Amino acid sequence: ESTDLAICPANRGAVWYKIEVTGKPVHMGRIREGVNAVEKMAEIMRELRRYETKLIAESDHPLFREYEQPVQVNIGMIKGGDWPSMVAGWCEMEGGVGFLPNKELPQIQEDLRQLLANFPDPWIQEHSRVSFPKLHNDAYETPVSDPLVTGLTEAVSKSGLKPKITGYIVSCDARLYARVGKMPTVVFGAGSLKEAHSRSESLSISEALKASEVLVNYLLL
């Protein structure tokens, strides 16, 4: 993974959610008799922002303190309604929650379930649901005192670089080695997240060679 040659013994988790709300569709001429699902979703969006504030307050980790906002609740997609002259009878929203190793994925999922179940608006309590049909990645952490971390730190120094130990701000497959494989795991590599998943994604050959040098030095310890 692209870490700018930083040593990342922890990365945040991520879970995608889908929230669905049903309303009561009527012609706009009888608007007071309807319930607009899009407007109800707007209420949920505001509550998600309050949940994000709460999640940030509950989350702290020394490896992630350099980041301005390592915990996020994102609203990524929204659609609803069938006709401009109808009160919207349905609305769907999809997004993601990024969380630190102090939280478990099932905790985040249950938080969102409870957000809807205890919503101040009774209509939303009874006519909404949340599911998690897509991405669901745990966070993970390897202690910085682990020999893998200290050894890689030494290898970085031997390669003429100043070691930097930090958290990885995105989710990746490292969690599988750490949580399923039960093995010490570090994310390390050439390249920058600033260009990842973009049209300008690229990798400096000199940086790739330096990353290879670090790994060789680690193997020779």
Domains of the chain: 12-137 (3.30.70.360), 140-219 (1.10.150.900)
Nearest to 58 by CA among 121, 102, 5: 102
203 pLDDT higher than 90: no
Three-state DSSP at 51 gives helix
Residues 6+ apart with CB under 8 A from 14: 96, 97, 98, 99, 135, 136, 137, 170, 171
Three-state DSSP at 166 gives coil
Confidence of residue 209 (pLDDT cuts 50, 70, 90): very high
pLDDT at 187: 97
10 pLDDT higher than 90: yes
How many residues are present in the chain? 221
pLDDT averaged over the chain? 95
Residues 6+ apart with CB under 8 A from 63: 8, 9, 10, 141, 144, 165, 166, 167
Helix (H) or strand (E) holding 14: strand 13-22
Nearest to 40 by CA among 9, 80, 6: 80
Asked if 49 and 133 touch (Cβ cutoff 8 Å), the reply is no
pTM of this prediction? 0.88
pLDDT at 200: 82
